[in-house]
Chain A
């Protein structure tokens, strides 16, 4: 049996179900969006996975600051790095989608610009980590910076686009998932695949962390 088999296989099954149902179930017939509305299952899933990983990353950072375990620092940076992977995929898929619905790869939308800034702030987290030799100092300072980055990310992606007008549904004063935005058939696919994507992200993080720990042990033995 593989480690954590139940949640890893559950997320794989959820994503597989989402892929199949996402292409075959009926979707609302909306102008401009047409069939591309199905991107919601895949493009938005990337952002949910990113947010969940960044949230996990800041929780590991808090744990590191309280208990000082090396593993928590490794997990914090690992979750941030897997989160960046999903964020980049979300950005790329969003650009493709925007080209065919909004007319350009990049439009001057608060959500897009906020996301770009947030990803750059997280990029700076890795630059900061690599700039310090001393392990304890690096872990401490980057843990504090990580909490700051998470707060900024939430502000830029979830708060500011709601205060101004955004092309994204659910922004400009509305909650993200009102009754009008998502119909009931889409929810049947959307919620399961979101959980699946998040689980898949944590699966990658788990593999990365175990590889890190083996690496640390081997280095200690030398």
Chain B
């Protein structure tokens, strides 16, 4: 008689715990983006990529010059 409520309580606790487990916060880099200077990293990545593209464009210019010379 006394056991049944205990089992029920356990079951209730188990089912209640499901949504709580599902709501557990997923770890994301929130603070890093807020004050962790992630924008500095974005800036660095952007500068590197722009640098590579500028180099590619200069390579294109040189390629064009050599193509002209070979046409003549």
Residue in contact with B26 in the complex, picked from A3, A31, A211, CB distance below 8 Å: A31
A35 touches B46 (CB 8 A): no
A24 touches B70 (CB 8 A): no
> What string of 1s and 0s marks CB contacts (under 8 Å) between B42-62 and chain A?
100110011001001101110
Q: Interface size of A by Cβ–Cβ distance < 8 Å?
A: 22
A34 touching B28 in the complex, CB below 8 Å, given contacts A2-B64, A3-B60, A23-B41: yes
A16 touching B67 in the complex, CB below 8 Å, given contacts A2-B60, A24-B39, A24-B42: no
A34 touches B26 (CB 8 A): yes
A24 touching B61 in the complex, CB below 8 Å, given contacts A19-B42, A19-B46, A30-B26: no
Instruction: Please indicate the chain B residues that have their CB under 8 angstroms from the CB of A19 in the complex.
Output: 42, 45-46, 49
Instruction: Please indicate the chain B residues that have their CB under 8 angstroms from the CB of A69 in the complex.
Output: none
A16 touches B42 (CB 8 A): no
Instruction: Please indicate the chain A residues that have their CB under 8 angstroms from the CB of B35 in the complex.
Output: none
B60 touches A16 (CB 8 A): no
Please classify the interface of chain A as helix (H, G, I), strand (E, B), loop, or mixed, using the class held by over half of its residues. helix
A210 touches B63 (CB 8 A): yes
- Kindly state whether residue B33 has any CB partner on chain A within 8 Å: yes
Give the shortest distance, in Å, between A12 (CB) and chain B (any CB).
5
B70 touches A35 (CB 8 A): no
Instruction: Please indicate the chain A residues that have their CB under 8 angstroms from the CB of B61 in the complex.
Output: 2
| Interface set, chain A 26-53, CB cutoff 8 A to B | 29-31, 34-35
Chain A residue at minimum C-beta to C-beta distance from B71: A217
Instruction: Please indicate the chain B residues that have their CB under 8 angstroms from the CB of A203 in the complex.
Output: 56
Residues of B within 8 A of A (CB): 25-29, 33, 38-39, 41-42, 45-46, 49-50, 53, 56-57, 59-61, 63-64, 66-67, 70
Q: List 27 A-B contacts (CB under 8 A).
A: A2-B60, A3-B60, A3-B63, A3-B64, A8-B60, A15-B49, A16-B46, A16-B50, A16-B53, A19-B42, A19-B45, A19-B46, A20-B45, A20-B46, A23-B42, A24-B33, A24-B39, A30-B26, A34-B27, A34-B28, A35-B29, A203-B56, A207-B59, A210-B67, A214-B66, A214-B67, A214-B70
Residues of A within 8 A of B (CB): 2-3, 8, 12, 15-16, 19-20, 23-24, 29-31, 34-35, 203, 207, 210-211, 214, 217-218
